[in-house]
């Protein structure tokens, strides 16, 4: 079915939403993650009041997160809003401070929606943060795993694992990835015990 939908596209897009995420090492235990959400319209449009607006960038929002600690959490957060549809949109920028101290684990998205979603903040910053956190984990792990490290003694020693468990079929509690990790840990613990 996907191929048939693809074949129905006969014109240029009218809208694009792009995300860009980057992770920068700060020190051995912390990283700064940047996330950008950019909405662009490719044709003129009319708002609900009937005013015409030109095509172009309608939203551009950038989040900066300081990630670290054990358990893994957001240690600091800041936001920029270079492009917004209305000047008052920037009033929601400070809402992002409410996520400082939030652990990155299962249930993160729901907590974010309660803290800065709906009328508490900005729907676009909320969406960016929810999408960004998985990229932040990948970036954090890329930084932490850039040097050799010992095999953990248990699943509890794996930072950020709570965020991944039960997020998809492969990462379910009794799924193949966790089973493989458990087998590696058990094998390593047996080798240590035999020494």
In order, the DSSP letters of 95-158 are GGGGGTT-B-STTHHHHHHHHHSGGGS-HHHHHHHHHHHHHHHHHHHHHHTTS--PPPSSGGGS
SS3 54: coil
- Indicate whether 141 pLDDT > 80: yes
The C-alpha atoms of residue 26 and residue 95 are separated, in whole angstroms, by 24
Residues 60 and 82: beta-carbon distance below 8 Å: yes
Residue 56 Rama label (left phi>0; alpha psi -120 to 50; beta): left
Residue 2 pLDDT: 61
- Indicate whether 163 pLDDT > 80: no
- Indicate whether 160 pLDDT > 70: no
Please compute Rg for the chain using Cα positions: 21
Instruction: Choose between 68 and 159: higher pLDDT.
Output: 68
The C-alpha atoms of residue 135 and residue 156 are separated, in whole angstroms, by 21
Please, what is the Cα angle at 79 between 77 and 82, to 5 degrees? 165
Residue 126 pLDDT: 95
Percent of the chain with pLDDT over 70: 97
Over residues 153-172, the mean pLDDT reads: 82
H or E segment at 83? strand 73-83
Over residues 128-137, the mean pLDDT reads: 93
- Indicate whether 192 pLDDT > 90: no
Over residues 50-71, the mean pLDDT reads: 92
């Amino acid at each position: 079915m996907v191929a048939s939908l693809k074949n129905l596209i006969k014109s240029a897009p009218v809208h694009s939403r792009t995300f860009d995420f980057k992770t920068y090492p700060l020190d051995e235990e912390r990283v700064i993650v940047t996330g950008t959400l950019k909405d662009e319209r490719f044709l003129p449009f009319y708002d609900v009041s009937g005013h015409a607006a030109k095509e172009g960038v309608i939203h551009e929002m950038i989040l900066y997160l300081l990630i670290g600690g054990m358990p893994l959490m957001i240690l600091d957060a800041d936001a920029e809003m270079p492009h917004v549809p209305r000047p008052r949109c920037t009033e929601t920028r400070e809402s992002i401070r409410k996520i400082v101290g939030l652990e990155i684990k299962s249930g993160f998205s729901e907590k974010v929606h309660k803290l800065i979603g709906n009328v508490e903040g900005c729907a676009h910053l909320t969406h960016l943060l929810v999408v960004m956190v998985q990229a932040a984990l990948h970036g954090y792990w890329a930084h932490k795993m850039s040097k050799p490290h010992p095999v953990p003694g248990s699943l509890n020693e794996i930072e950020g694992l709570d965020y991944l468990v039960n997020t998809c079929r492969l990462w379910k509690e009794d799924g193949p990835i966790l089973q493989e990790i458990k087998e590696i840990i058990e094998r390593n613990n047996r080798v240590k015990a035999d020494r």
